[in-house]
Structure 1
Amino acid sequence: MTTQEMLDDRYGRRRSPARRWLIGGGIVLAVAVVALFGWFTVSGALDDVDADTTAFEVVDAHSVSLGFQITAPPGSAVACAIEAQDQEHGVVGWRVVELPASDEHARAFREAIPTTALATTGFVNSCWVLPNPAD
């Protein structure tokens, strides 16, 4: 036995084959978990819809005109909840608009929101991809 082998035995630096398999299995499992997390992140982002309010105009005490643009997956119909609020941030108008599918990635729209009182702002609350009727 060499000096190095004696030192390895003395200080426990030798690894048994079972320990090597355990470490290897742990590494493979960790890589699989990271890959699965990455896949879920990417697949969830493929159907994301981004909406930005570009303009709003208080038409009168019963209506707000809202300009907005969306970025959505091409070929997907989208629905957006648009909202009007008063000075105290209370919701005075709310509406869901369904936007038809298009081959374009980014599109701009202008919609009217009926209100129950004078609004001071209008904005897009949220947007989502509608299920495909063929599915």
Structure 2
Amino acid sequence: MDDIKDPVIVLEAAECWQRLGSRTVGRIVTRVGDVVDIFPVNYAVDGESLVLRTAEGNKLAELMVSNQVLFEVDDHDDAIAWSVVVRGTARRLETEAEIAAADALPLKPMVPTVKRNYVRITSESISGRLFALGEEPPRDGVQAY
């Protein structure tokens, strides 16, 4: 990463979607009243939305009470790290056509349990950052602006 001058680079939306499409596991954040939860989920990118499957339970119940969510995916190696966050609206898929389209996506449960519920997260905004990893710079002396 010697060619990167700034250790933090803002990713364009297209690169954010590309990075989301390169992974299959992320985290969905829900909020109901004062309760905030985060759940690991597997997912698939479908255009500029995300689709996941879930069983009955807290995650689905929370999504039905408050459909505003955050979705985050990240990765790293020895040289770089990145993170992409989608702010969006979650909606349970209801029609046969919606479910059939979701079934055609490369989306299989991680855990061998029945997950009959499909949820689509429609993006309202997407942001991402790329981080060049390395040693902390000296804390004393003149700092670059």
Q: TM-score, normalised by structure 1?
A: 0.31
- Could you say which structure has the higher helix fraction? 1
- Quick check: which has more Rg, 1 or 2? 1
- Could you say which structure has the higher strand fraction? 2
